[in-house]
Structure 1
Amino acid sequence: MPRLAASLVLSTTPLATQVELVRRLEAGGFDRVFFGEAWREPVVPMAAALLGTSTVGVGSAISQIYPVHPVVVAQQAAQLDELAPGRFSLGLGLGASFVVERWFGVPYDRPLRRAREFADVVRGVLASPEEGPFTYSGELFSVTRYRLPFAETAVRVPVHLAAVGPAMQTLAGEVADGVVVGALHSERTMEQTLARLGRGAARRGRTLDDLTIWYYLACCVSTDPDRARAMARRSLVYLAQYPHYRAVYAEEGFAAEAETIAQLVRQKEMDRAEREVTDEMIGRFAIAGTVAECRDQLRRYAGYPGVPVLHLIPFRMDEAEVQESFRLATELAR
């Protein structure tokens, strides 16, 4: 069995319940639990999880870089590391263009430049207690003589970039400690990802061995295998809303299905959209079934680089079912 991580993207579930779920995942042998910035901002849940556990890693996957300034994000990262030294990791990502522009009122422009400069500023601020006041003059961000006031030494927080497209993956290999690969992939796309990461790493005199790779994997565990596949199908419908994931579906031979699903979602025809998700798509992109079935399905990823991040998006499903799926998932690593 590969090492395992989990991603919690919950909305109505109380924070206390989420922390208890993280404790269960910790006891179940999971390496890390990620919190995504979707229906909740991630900093408060991550702080609660770090204070409520003792060994499991906790990280953001991802924190969106458009609505905030990197100095603030570096401050948050340093304080989270202060709560639990060595257990926090910072995952940064672009988010979806329509979310950035609709929710935050920020133009989705120059994403690669923004990601590069954002990572530069975060690293500079975290290093400032040892290297001195940090000054940066970029095309998008500028900082003048800033030093973290509450840290005596440099803060060693791993910085990961979420990367789906080729250019972003190459950038991650160049400037980040690791990469958070998107939720849709195959052996072929992972080979492409490794090649791009390697090219980026070479620009800094590094190799793939210097990078940590996390890849997301839709997963639903249930005592009812039919229900598990139905819930996994809903996660795959959710992903089809995003242009970058539709591109991956297309690369893997599901272009027509993905376009039809996305169109039906826009028309609010959710039941019809779910019926367009084929068994082949579930088998290719998801883990779904009983504990025993999911354990068997996970074995096909034993040769994958990096660590799978099990996730289940609470899209048109009761969050109690999502919680139960993760509780059952704690048996997978045993």
Structure 2
Amino acid sequence: MAHPKRVGLYVWPTGQHEAEFERALWAEEQGYEDIWFPDGYGMQDALTLAAAVAARTKRARLCTGVVPVFTRPVPVLAKTIYAIEKIAPGRLVLGLGSSTGAMVDGWYGVEFKKPVTAVREAVELLRKIMAGEKTDYQGQVFRSKGFKLGEPIQPPVPILLAAMGPKMLQMVGEVADGVCLNNFTPLERMPWALEQLDIGAKRSGRRVDDLEISARLAMITSDDPASALEFFRSEVSFYASTPIYQQIITHMGFGQVARDVAEGFKVRDRKRILAAIPDELVAKLFIWGNEAECQRRVREFFAAGLTSAAIGPQSPNPAEFQRTCEAFVPSRFSVAA
């Protein structure tokens, strides 16, 4: 089953909550098909903002990108989904993921264990609850007994799962409705990622074409490429502080970079960290340029198999931030050019 190609706006957290709420409303008014809500950075809760926006919108899908499975008991997550579904029937798309040990264990004080198993179990348990079953579930990570929603959620909320590595991608293909990729699955890795998803999909009698392939594409629409490059070099350094992203960078052929960055973090030397990140790596991971260049890069992802783009404007410059938001409204952008 081929999924229609969709373009959504990722409501990037800036710390200005009223502006983020208004940006989400603006996105629907301008014709964006999806509104994506991140979860993290200590500034934004995806489901809370999705619920608020649900009450003020009529058409756009409301997509979380992504909620960690460790930070809410699955029955609590199910109740939240149920509440949003009552406000905006059929419009919620639940993006879930494991997050990282640094965030889950470090920030939230919750044990980060067996991430692939945890995500699988969360999906299994959540689907049972959405179907109206009373829980009697004992997994390796999650358990629940005796919980039941007031009524089933029908049709069930689509579940997309964040993934980068082969084990998680294959599991996503097997159990989920789709995948949430991010900038660390660059264009050159798309064929490999789709292959891993297809391996998993075959285990459940499906193919990769049955899945929604979504990706958050962080970008800056700008006439100042040098500033955009340095902004995104800093972004790479943030992600590269964690082992999972160091592994991804290594798999991309930048093993020495990953090792140098890890050493820089050990001695808390930010200049050393940034100096270790080459322009070539930054350019593979992030998108910047004028409007036409950014649009061209997004079309390349669609041509490579993407079905749902979450446009992620990023820039400390408000004018550049808004330029990116405006560059992908339907009157300015089409997948087919």
TM-score normalised by length of structure 2? 0.85
Report the alpha carbon displacement of residue 272 of structure 1 after superposing the two structures with TM.
5.2
Task: Check the 8 A contact 1:25/1:330 in 2, yes or no.
Answer: no
What letter is aligned with 2:36? F
Task: Check the 8 A contact 1:174/1:200 in 2, yes or no.
Answer: yes
Counterpart selection for 2:11 from 5, 8, 13: 8
Relative to structure 1, the CA distance from residue 152 to residue 126 in structure 2 (aligned partners, 3 Å threshold; closer, same or farther) is closer
Aligned residue number for residue 25 of structure 2: 23
Query: Distance between the aligned counterparts of 2:131 and 2:321, measured in 1?
Result: 38
**Residue 238 of structure 1 pairs with residue 242 of structure 2:** no
**Counterparts of residues 147-162 of structure 1 (less than 5 Å):** 147-149=148-150, 151=151, 154-162=154-162
Report the alpha carbon displacement of residue 178 of structure 1 after superposing the two structures with TM.
0.8
Report the alpha carbon displacement of residue 190 of structure 1 after superposing the two structures with TM.
2.0
Query: Distance between the aligned counterparts of 1:117 and 1:322, measured in 2?
Result: 41
Aligned residue number for residue 73 of structure 2: 69
Aligned residue number for residue 250 of structure 2: 250
Aligned residue number for residue 322 of structure 2: 324
What letter is aligned with 1:218? A
Consecutive unaligned residues of structure 1, counting only runs of 5 or more, are none
SS at match of 1:185: coil
What letter is aligned with 1:31? E
What letter is aligned with 1:142? R
Query: Distance between the aligned counterparts of 2:56 and 2:269, measured in 1?
Result: 41
Query: Distance between the aligned counterparts of 2:263 and 2:55, measured in 1?
Result: 43
Task: Check the 8 A contact 1:3/1:333 in 2, yes or no.
Answer: no
Task: Check the 8 A contact 1:4/1:333 in 2, yes or no.
Answer: no
Aligned residue number for residue 143 of structure 1: 144
What letter is aligned with 2:203? R
What letter is aligned with 1:5? G
CA RMSD after TM alignment: 2.6
**Counterparts of residues 288-327 of structure 1 (less than 5 Å):** 288-306=288-306, 307-311=308-312, 318=316, 320=318, 323-324=321-322, 326-327=324-325
SS at match of 1:18: helix
Report the alpha carbon displacement of residue 273 of structure 1 after superposing the two structures with TM.
3.8
Relative to structure 1, the CA distance from residue 297 to residue 188 in structure 2 (aligned partners, 3 Å threshold; closer, same or farther) is closer
Query: Distance between the aligned counterparts of 2:319 and 2:104, measured in 1?
Result: 29
Query: Distance between the aligned counterparts of 2:141 and 2:185, measured in 1?
Result: 32
Report the alpha carbon displacement of residue 192 of structure 1 after superposing the two structures with TM.
2.1
Report the alpha carbon displacement of residue 93 of structure 1 after superposing the two structures with TM.
0.8
What letter is aligned with 2:71? P
Report the alpha carbon displacement of residue 181 of structure 1 after superposing the two structures with TM.
1.8
SS at match of 1:146: coil
Aligned residue number for residue 222 of structure 1: 222
TM-score normalised by length of structure 1? 0.86
Relative to structure 1, the CA distance from residue 318 to residue 153 in structure 2 (aligned partners, 3 Å threshold; closer, same or farther) is closer
What letter is aligned with 2:45? E
| CA deviation vs aligned residue, 1:276-298 (integer Å, no higher than 9, x gap) | 44332233221102222212333
Report the alpha carbon displacement of residue 37 of structure 1 after superposing the two structures with TM.
1.6
Report the alpha carbon displacement of residue 172 of structure 1 after superposing the two structures with TM.
0.8
Counterpart selection for 1:54 from 54, 58, 76: 58
Query: Distance between the aligned counterparts of 2:221 and 2:234, measured in 1?
Result: 14
Task: Check the 8 A contact 2:173/2:199 in 1, yes or no.
Answer: yes
SS at match of 1:4: strand
What letter is aligned with 1:32? D
Relative to structure 1, the CA distance from residue 229 to residue 287 in structure 2 (aligned partners, 3 Å threshold; closer, same or farther) is same
Relative to structure 1, the CA distance from residue 137 to residue 288 in structure 2 (aligned partners, 3 Å threshold; closer, same or farther) is same
Higher relative contact order (CA 8 A, sep 6+): 1
Counterpart selection for 2:105 from 66, 78, 101: 101
Query: Distance between the aligned counterparts of 2:152 and 2:309, measured in 1?
Result: 35
**Counterparts of residues 199-214 of structure 1 (less than 5 Å):** 199-214=199-214
Task: Check the 8 A contact 2:237/2:273 in 1, yes or no.
Answer: yes
Runs of 4+ residues deviating >4 angstroms: 265-269, 319-323
Task: Check the 8 A contact 1:233/1:277 in 2, yes or no.
Answer: yes
| CA deviation vs aligned residue, 1:104-137 (integer Å, no higher than 9, x gap) | 2222222222211111111111110xxx534323
